[in-house]
Amino acid sequence: MSEIRLFVSTTEKQAGAVLDIMTAVFGEEDFAIATMEIDETRDVWEASIYMMADEEAEVKARLEEALQPGFSHLPIEREVLPDIDWIAKSLEGLAPVRAGRFVVHGSHDRDKVKTGEVAIEIDAGQAFGTGHHGTTAGCLEMLASVARTRRIRNVLDLGTGSGVLAIAARKLLHVPVLATDIDPIATRVATENARRNGVVTGLAFATAPGFHSTTFSANGPFDLIIANILARPLMKMAPELVANLAPGGSVILSGILAEQRWKVLAAYNGQHLEHVRTIWRNGWVTIHLAK
Ligand SMILES: C[S@@+](CC[C@H](N)C(=O)[O-])C[C@H]1O[C@@H](n2cnc3c(N)ncnc32)[C@H](O)[C@@H]1O
């Protein structure tokens, strides 16, 4: 289902006032709300609220009412956000990607791996995750840094896609890794990628939507959970995700646009996790939180 952005276009001052109204009306619900500058010289700003297509009519009606009377002169505009084509994204650029100690490369670039690097071979295919996307690279960089500072005895990779992060975790840490995806094609591709990387033990794959499987309780709780999905499902999943985290455990979250960062942080702070570090890459953020 598509995501919709409803927005008003106005001055910086009025956009701030509209943002306050949006926050007062929708702040308790998990809609992303933001202002952004469109044209600095003409003082054009937009105040926006994001929702799924089936929520648009209700949100629009409530927003129209909330903007009465002070801002009723501002038309509410809409934009249908393009469905993120994860596979097309994963095909962007095929040169090896380096993040932390990791290098992710296609089979044609095996000879480019340098001594001391942890190499993961992924050919662009039917599942997301060649390392080129800012979220995957951010997760790899964060994984390398978390591994240096924390004791990790097992790992969950939720939304494994090509399996790139699960394979990276297994190769770096040599601890049991569970990798799941809602999409059976992804788990099939990930299993094949693990085999091609010589990772045949210590890494299990399962198809499951979110945490709806007994495999999580059978393999958890986890010292490290990595989830590169999207901001909204990550916020919704926060209670379940934290319930599967071991005491003192770490969470690496990505798939989050920079402007959605504070909302995701709030959802996880609400579950008593503390922010440790954020990495910014190409407009996306990767966040490390700890229990
Ligand atoms: C952005 S890709 C990340 C792939 C890989 N982990 C990476 O970092 O490159 C997101 C993956 O999460 C999966 N996914 C989306 N929603 C999910 C959910 N509710 N439960 C499990 N997997 C989900 C998608 O099928 C997709 O493979």
What pLDDT, on a 0 to 100 scale, did the predictor assign at position 168? 98
State the ipTM, two decimals: 0.99
Query: 133-290 adopts what CATH topology?
Result: Rossmann fold (3.40.50)
Rounded to whole angstroms, the Cα distance separating 101 from 99 reads: 6
The pLDDT tens digits for 126-160 are 667 777 788 999 999 999 999 999 999 999 999 99
Confidence at 289, pLDDT banded by 50, 70, 90: very high
CA–CA separation, 24 and 67 (whole Å): 12
What CATH code is assigned to 3-81? 3.30.70.2520
Cβ atoms within 10 Å of 274's Cβ, excluding its own = 11
Structure tokens at 23: 């926050």
Please report how many Cα atoms fall inside a 13 Å half-sphere around the Cα of residue 193, on the Cβ side.
35
What are 82-119's pLDDT values in tens digits?
666 555 555 545 678 899 899 999 888 888 899 999 99
- Does residue 139's CB lie within 6 angstroms of at least one atom of ligand 1? yes
Give the per-residue pLDDT at 133.
83
Neighbours of 83 (CB within 10 A): 9
Where do you find CATH 3.40.50.150 in the chain?
Answer: 133-290
pLDDT score of 282 = 84
Q: What distance in angstroms lies between residue 16's CA and the mean position of ligand 1's atoms?
A: 34
Say how many Å lie between the CA of residue 186 and the centre of ligand 1: 8
Every domain range in the chain assigned CATH 3.30.70.2520: 3-81
Average pLDDT value for residue range 264-283: 94
What separation in Å is there between the alpha carbon of 230 and the centre of ligand 1? 8
pLDDT, tens digit, 9 for 90 and up, residues 1-44: 778 899 999 999 999 999 999 989 998 887 878 778 788 788 88
Residue 228 in marked binding region: yes
Decide whether any atom of ligand 1 lies within 6 Å of the 130 Cβ: no
